[in-house]
Chains A and B, each alone.
Chain A
Amino acid sequence: MATDYQTPYKGVLGWLDDRLPVINFADQHLRFYPTPKNLTYAWNFGSLAGIALVIMIVTGIALAMHYTPHTDYAFASIQKIMRDVNYGWLLRYIHMNGASFFFIVVYIHMFRGLYYGSYKQPREVLWGLGVIILLLMMATAFMGYTLPWGQMSYWGATVITNMFSAVPVFGDEITRWLWGGFAVGNPTLQRFFSLHYLLPFLIVGAVMLHLVALHRYGSNNPTGIEPKGHQDQVPFHPYYTVKDLFGLGVFLIALSLFVFYAPNYLGHAINYQPADPLVTPPHIVPEWYFLPFYTILRAVPNKLGGVLLMFGSVLILFALPWLDRSPVRSGRYRPLFKQFFWLLVLDVLVLGYVGAMPPSGIWPTIGRVATAYYFIFFLVILPLLGVFERPKPRPHSISQPVLSDRAQPAAAPTSPAE
């Protein structure tokens, strides 16, 4: 067995580490862990996402102590939390707005990965695990929004679960099986609560695998060039611990502005009306972070087609490492990719905006064009760019980044370090 491990620590720490090498593990992965020295603030969002997950789990566990998952009591138990539970309003507002901020952070994290080619060999599995985390987050957020049992909770759940009735042959059976009855009802609410409590811990598991995969090859960096030695790296602590803490401070200020001064701004007013199966709201809209996908769902005038396209828009991300044929990682050195990338960012924002609009007038057309670009970007533009794009010259290493850019003389003094 693995008995050749000799603990380098003395005293009590040494005693513990000899029996359970956690001290060594923490040192390897949090303290001395060599990290590229040129990471920008765009790299803060990974740790922020992890912290957001912890905030959601902690507030969620406390909320679950007071929440009642029953169609007759759910709405009332939320009111109880908001009015009578000590700081219940604070817990719930952090949890509600925390969900939105979790998605903001994860979306930025993903766009960063996309821009700098962080999904490319050898980090394909790292990226794939990230997509799995996104899927789990979406399921968790959707079921969580059902729990207050307001009008939008009920009708949102009805619309989303009904998507499964588009499955050929077994559609109705699947939908009834999901509902636990003939419509969204108490069995649905109770299983959604159960799963809403379970899935976050699956996310924790996926995040751990994400970190194992990350630490196999280390972080990508803005140049997309692997570190060539110690001159390119700094130990994680204190350099990135302090940088992540600073980022956390900024994140918490932004979250606090919403929690304390606009707690319901990101939600829907009608979700403060108790669920009523006999009154359909004029406008059933998902939470803002699902709006781009909602537009894609509605872009096809065919239920099954819309559902397939919507799931496809996330699943296509699994194939991203193989769709992008360019050997160059970082968007910095890819003049054409850069333009298409920012167009994609704009495109996703447009998809989100259209999702909030009623499907009449010009909006469905804009939605279809934006949906088309989303898929064309991944299925046509990325593969073709790999063949036709002429990347700019890249530096030899992180420490010698400016080869062709402005300040060639300035680069000279650092080059002997190589």
Chain B
Amino acid sequence: MAKFRNLLAAAIAAAGLGLAPVPVEAAETPAPPEHTWQFEGVFGTFDRATVQRGLQVFNTVCSACHGMKYVHFRNLKDIGYNKDQVEAIAAQYTVTDGPNDQGEMYQRPAEPTDAFPFPYKNKEAAKNANNGAVPPDLSVITNARPGGPEYVRAVLLGYEKAPEDANLSPGQYWNKYYPSHKISMPQMLVQGVVDYQDGTKATPKQMAHDVTAFLHWASNPHMEERKRLGLKVILFLIVLTAMLYAVQRKIWADVEK
């Protein structure tokens, strides 16, 4: 508690005195490179094949450490899976349920109504397994990082050999785009880690593109509906406003300036 209050006091003092700490890494972390996505723009949609490949990357790679507690297996219907496929995908995961009538918690295969589970018992277990770092929940990850999907893709691909004076702790890796560069997630998207069901060649770049598109869908599941509705609303408003302008001109025509 004392530590927390000191931290608090420091932050407040800094903000109040106009000395708020400058993010040093902001100066030296390069901007993530531009990338073309199919979900961009007024007519952007989630390419089903891309997002489904992304799900495969998530299932095979990411889900070993990351959960998505706000994304449910039932939501996968939105990216082109039918009921049976959704049940089969959910069944690959194990969730803790209970208590049962003996008062015990138990493990069971996930169902469509479950969310993508966090693979560790709790945060402490996650820290213990990852040199003190907790793998973040990925439900809204592309909304939760400055730079959005571009940033997420750049980090997945941004692993480099650390400079001589980097001072990496054990379990840390050097990433060009990660703030402070020292990331606790190893480079996961390497050649051969995923064998795509649709036969697409699973290069690191391809996997990063696919899984980021999937995560962007997970963060914004209503994006397609939003953009479709937006087009209708705005076209309607333009016509309505133009007519209101005409009415206004007509009504004001008899007023002397």
Contacts and interface: CB of A to CB of B under 8 A. Distances in A.
Interface of A: 37-38, 76, 79-80, 82-83, 89-90, 93, 155, 158-159, 162-163, 165-166, 182-183, 234, 238-239, 242-243, 245-246, 249-250, 252-253, 256-257, 259-261, 263-264, 269-270, 272-273, 277-278, 280, 282-284, 297-303, 306-307, 358-360, 364, 399, 414
A252 B120 CA distance: 47
Interface centre among A38, A166, A278, A284 (most CB of B within 10 A): A284
A-B residue pairs, 6 tightest by C-beta: A260-B230, A249-B241, A272-B144, A282-B23, A298-B18, A303-B16
Contacts of A252: 237, 241
A159 B21 CA distance: 14
Contact of A364 (B18, B148, B245, B255): B18
A163 B11 CA distance: 12
A360 B222 contact: no
Contacts of B233: 256, 260
A243 B248 contact: yes
A80 to B, nearest CB: 8
A301 B11 CA distance: 15
Interface in B51-76: 69-71, 75
Interface centre among B42, B145, B227, B248 (most CB of A within 10 A): B248
Contacts of A234: 255
Contacts of A364: 18
B8 interface: yes
Contacts of A284: 11, 15, 20
Interface of B: 1, 4-5, 7-8, 11-13, 15-23, 25-26, 42, 69-71, 75, 136, 139-140, 143-148, 179, 219, 221-222, 226-227, 229-231, 233-234, 237-238, 240-241, 244-245, 247-248, 251-252, 255-257
B11 A159 contact: yes
A360 B22 contact: yes
A104 to B, nearest CB: 18
A239 B244 CA distance: 12
A79 B70 contact: yes
B244 A242 contact: yes
Nearest to A237: B251
A359 B20 contact: yes
B5 A250 contact: no
B117 to A, nearest CB: 15
Nearest to B147: A269
A272 B19 CA distance: 25
Looking at chain B's contact residues, the main secondary structure is helix
Nearest to A358: B22
A239 B252 contact: yes
Contacts of A253: 234, 237-238, 241
Given A249-B237, A260-B233, A301 B18 contact: yes
14 contacts: A80-B70, A83-B71, A83-B75, A90-B229, A162-B12, A249-B245, A252-B237, A260-B229, A272-B140, A277-B8, A280-B11, A283-B26, A399-B256, A414-B256
A250 B241 contact: yes
Contact of B12 (A158, A259, A261): A158
A89 B226 contact: yes
Contacts of A263: 226
A183 B4 contact: yes
Contacts of A359: 18-20, 22
Nearest to B13: A303
Nearest to A294: B15
A242 B143 contact: no
A242 B21 contact: no
Contacts of A76: 69-70
Contacts of A238: 251
A37 to B, nearest CB: 6
A345 B130 CA distance: 52
Nearest to A282: B23
B48 to A, nearest CB: 19
